[in-house]
Every structure is written in structure tokens, then in C-alpha cells.
Amino acid sequence: MSRMPQSNTPKTAIIDDAPMVGGVLARAFGDDPMMRWFFPDDSSREAGLERYFTTLFTRQYGPHGVCERTESAAAFWVAPEGQDKAVPDAATVQALQEILGDRADVFRRAVEAAAEHTPPEPHWYLAVIGADPAARGQGHGSALLRSGLAQADAAGMPVYLESSKPDNLPVYEHFGFVVLGEASLPGGGPALWAMRRAPRDPSGG
């Protein structure tokens, strides 16, 4: 119990945190429908996911986004000024395709489909958030979500995200998100829900 206040405190994730961030997110997304679609082999999924999220962090969101972590969770955000970086660039896509192997084509089509639906208005984008299942219920994910939302509210900006896990929708709705629509990823992929949260007055509580 004495470690919880410290462990739940969001900190800026730096490149040296890559092994921890990759491992935490790999465990967090082991049951995520989209990640299971990208990595269908149960025996190699966690290792593949660890490489996947480590690559996203070190090549994409670490340099271009706002990345935070606790001891058991991590989140990648993109501020409006980095909106053109919200979708992995060509070099990152190539690196991820090497990790995905024969699932690279469905991944590429998913990335292209997501790019077509980028909201036109300036916004913050929650690209990734996840907590280690062993630490769920201890407030790690909520602490990171509140931290990012506070930054978006301070800037007077809405926040967008996509989720492929139905169980997560009520959690996001609790924090003020509303579902904008539902779509299926190309190539027979799982459903994906787009969500938006309107900015709130930081002084309004």
C-alpha cells in the first residue's frame, strides 16, 4: 500500500524506459481484439507485442508525442501540433511490418483506414493507453488518463481515441468520451469505436 501513491504518479516516459513501456503494454494488450488480430499466434503474441509497442514508442510517439508512465502503465498522446505524427510514418510502418510478418498487409490497411478518418479539427489524440493486468484496479490507467485529459483541457482542446475493446467503452464514457461511430477494420478485422471528449474548463472542476 505504501508504494501506491508513488507508483500511480504519472511521469514523462523517456527512451530509457522503452523496455519497461514495451513490456507493460504487451501485457496490457494481450486480450485486445485488434492486437489479437495483428498477432493471432498465442505462443508468440506477447513477444511480438513487446517489439511492436517498443518500436512505436522509440520511433514514433517518444520523439513526436507526449508519453507518460507509472510503474505499471503507459500512455501515448499526440498534441495538435504533432497531429501529422498521429499515424506511424513510413519508416515506422516498415519496421512494424517486419515485426508483424505475414500479418503486415492487414496492419498496413488498418493504418491507412485510420488515417482516412483523422478528425479535421485541432485535437489531442490518445494513441495508446494500457495497464499491466497484474496492477489493474490500482488506478494506474486512470491516473494517466486524467493527466492527459488535464493537458488537453488546459489547451481547450477536444480528445479523440479509437478502441477495439467493448469493455473499455464505459470506462472512457465515465471520463466524458462519447462514441462517434463504429467501423470494422478492413480485411475482416474487429470492430473499432471512435470516441470524442469535448474540452472542459479546467477551473470548473
Lowest mean pLDDT among 14-18, 26-30, 34-38, 187-191: 187-191
- Whether the pTM exceeds 0.85: the reply is yes
Give the Cβ contact number of residue 133 at 10 Å: 13
Residue 182 domain-assigned? Answer: no
Lowest mean pLDDT among 13-22, 26-35, 77-86: 77-86
What is the distance between the alpha carbons of residues 66 and 68, in angstroms, rounded to a whole number? 7
Provide φ and ψ at 189, rounded to 5°: -75, 175
Lowest mean pLDDT among 73-77, 78-82, 143-147: 78-82
Q: Name the residue range of residue 43's domain.
A: 4-157
H or E element at residue 8: none
Q: Could you tell me if 194 and 168 are in contact, meaning their C-beta atoms sit under 8 angstroms apart?
A: no
CATH code for the domain in which residue 98 is found: 3.40.630.30
User: Which regions of the chain does DSSP assign to beta strands (E)?
Assistant: 11-12, 66-69, 73-78, 124-131, 159-163, 177-184, 191-197
Does residue 49 have a pLDDT over 70? yes
Residue 11 domain-assigned? Answer: yes
Q: pLDDT tens digit string along 161-171?
A: 999 999 999 99
Q: Name beta bridge partners: 128.
A: 76
Q: Could you tell me if 77 and 67 are in contact, meaning their C-beta atoms sit under 8 angstroms apart?
A: yes
Lowest mean pLDDT among 1-10, 53-62, 94-103: 1-10
User: Which regions of 50-123 does DSSP assign to beta strands (E)?
Assistant: 66-69, 73-78
Euclidean distance between the first and the last CA atom of the chain, given in angstroms as a whole number = 28
Which residues have C-beta within 8 Å of that of residue 67, sequence separation ≥ 6?
A: 12, 13, 21, 57, 61, 74, 75, 76, 77
Residue 110 domain-assigned? Answer: yes
Q: How many domains are contained in the chain?
A: 1
Does residue 75 have a pLDDT over 60? yes
Residue 68 domain-assigned? Answer: yes
Residue 195 domain-assigned? Answer: no
Residue 60 domain-assigned? Answer: yes
